[in-house]
Amino acid sequence: MARAQVDPAELAAGVRERNRAAISRAITLVESSKPEHRALARDLLAKLDRHDSVRVGISGVPGVGKSTFIESLGTHLTAQGHRVGVLAVDPSSVRTGGSVLGDKTRMARLAVDPEAFVRPSPAAGTLGGVARATAQAMAVLEAAAYDVVLVETVGVGQSEVTVAGMVDTFLFLTLARTGDQLQGIKKGILEIADVIAVNKADDVGGADREGEARSAARELSGALRLVHGKGEWAPTVVTCSGLTGAGVDEVWQRVLDHRHHLSADGLARKRAEQQLEFTWALVRDELDQRLRRSANVARVRQEVRAAVLSGELAAPAAADRILAAYDERPDPHVTRSQ
């Protein structure tokens, strides 16, 4: 945090009053990994009353146009009277841990909409960091009465599963004309997707991309019938264009259909299970942070590093040595690094 002193009560009041600067500062606080900020963040969150929102995770294949689609969906929703919060989980800078994609520049129209709030969020290096920072940023947005929260993932690796575990509905965007679109989409994505949309279904540039998108949707619908069993929610595949806005309203209707399918009881159970998983994500993230701050680990770090690089020490033995150092009782004469 840029400011030396943070008053959680004052910050909570600003969030409740929907003050954009206060919302931004609150999210910065809950994303921070500094121990002193974590304590303040817990105090802040305890003072916030959360309003219910529709939580949607959005991911997609590279080049699918996630930001264009989210901007189109977001402006469609604000025009209907919704207040929309967007959390874009960016790849983190290896050196600084900050966001590097700059989603506000990629969603310029939505970013200046008074009924929307767009926030690039650093992935913070670990999936535990993503879960903690994103879930708590969602809590801030809900306390500020944003009734729709869209969470965009980086679109690679395990982050989709992490985000799917904290939203009500997971929307997967794909493209036609990939040639191997079915092979290129991992089965795991099809298993966690609740709604699938083939984006760029437009005729920009003269190509019949709309027809190709419909063909791709039919192929994906067939694949989904093999993945989902009878009685389960079987996501229908729709086509849309984030660029022109065509079909975006239908995508949103599918999100609402999925929410209706869950029912109030089913949604409550899903969120309760997510809270349990989030509890363990917080534990794993805190253990990771304590390992990094351990004075005993710091003492052996360079020695272990040199031994592994020289080939004198195998990785399993090196890991055991680091964990043994962490488990040692701290020397009372050595101040633990914060």
What is the per-residue pLDDT across 54-104, written as a single tens digit (0 to 9) for each?
Answer: 999 998 877 888 889 999 999 999 999 999 999 987 644 333 444 444 455
If one counts the domains in the chain, the total is 2
- Which DSSP category does 234 fall into? -
Measured between alpha carbons, how far is 253 from 264 in angstroms, rounded to an integer? 17
CATH of the domain at 175: 3.40.50.300
Q: Which of 114, 121, 136 is nearest to 19 (CA)?
A: 114
Is there a domain that residue 320 lies in?
A: no
Is there a domain that residue 326 lies in?
A: no
* Same-domain status, 16 and 146: no
* Same-domain status, 40 and 173: no
* Same-domain status, 27 and 110: no
pLDDT of residue 115: 96
Q: Quick check: 244 and 97 in contact, CB under 8 A?
A: no
Q: What is the pLDDT of residues 249-293, one digit of tens each?
A: 999 999 999 999 999 999 999 999 999 988 988 888 888 888 988
Q: What is the pLDDT of residues 1-48, one digit of tens each?
A: 444 578 999 999 999 999 999 999 999 999 887 888 888 999 999 999
The 3-class secondary structure across 185-226, one letter per residue, is CCHHHHHHCCEEEECCCCCHHHCCHHHHHHHHHHHHHHHHHH
Q: Which domain holds residue 248?
A: 50-262
Is there a domain that residue 280 lies in?
A: no
Is there a domain that residue 231 lies in?
A: yes
Measured between alpha carbons, how far is 205 from 244 in angstroms, rounded to an integer? 13
What are the b/e assignments for 195-208, b being 16+ CB within 10 Å? bbbbbbbbeeeeee
* Same-domain status, 31 and 144: no
Q: Which of 31, 59, 217 is nearest to 136 (CA)?
A: 31
* Same-domain status, 112 and 238: yes
* Same-domain status, 63 and 198: yes
Number of alpha carbons in the 13 Å side-chain half-sphere of residue 262: 20
Percentage, residues of the chain above pLDDT 70: 79
Cα angle: 158, vertex 163, 169; to 5 degrees: 125
Is there a domain that residue 318 lies in?
A: no
CB neighbourhood size of 269 (10 A) = 12
* Same-domain status, 45 and 61: no
Measured between alpha carbons, how far is 240 from 185 in angstroms, rounded to an integer? 19
Lowest mean pLDDT segment, chosen from 156-170, 180-194, 239-253, 267-281: 180-194
Task: Name the domain boundary from 206, 234, 262.
Answer: 262
* Same-domain status, 78 and 199: yes
What predicted TM-score, i.e. pTM, was given to this entire model?
A: 0.84
* Same-domain status, 38 and 54: no
* Same-domain status, 35 and 182: no
CATH of the domain at 15: 1.20.5.170
Higher pLDDT, 312 or 213: 312
Higher pLDDT, 177 or 213: 213
CB neighbourhood size of 4 (10 A) = 5
Percentage, residues of the chain above pLDDT 90: 46
Is there a domain that residue 315 lies in?
A: no
Amino acid type, 99: S
Lowest mean pLDDT segment, chosen from 42-46, 232-236, 296-300, 331-335: 331-335
* Same-domain status, 57 and 36: no
- Which DSSP category does 144 fall into? T
* Same-domain status, 40 and 56: no
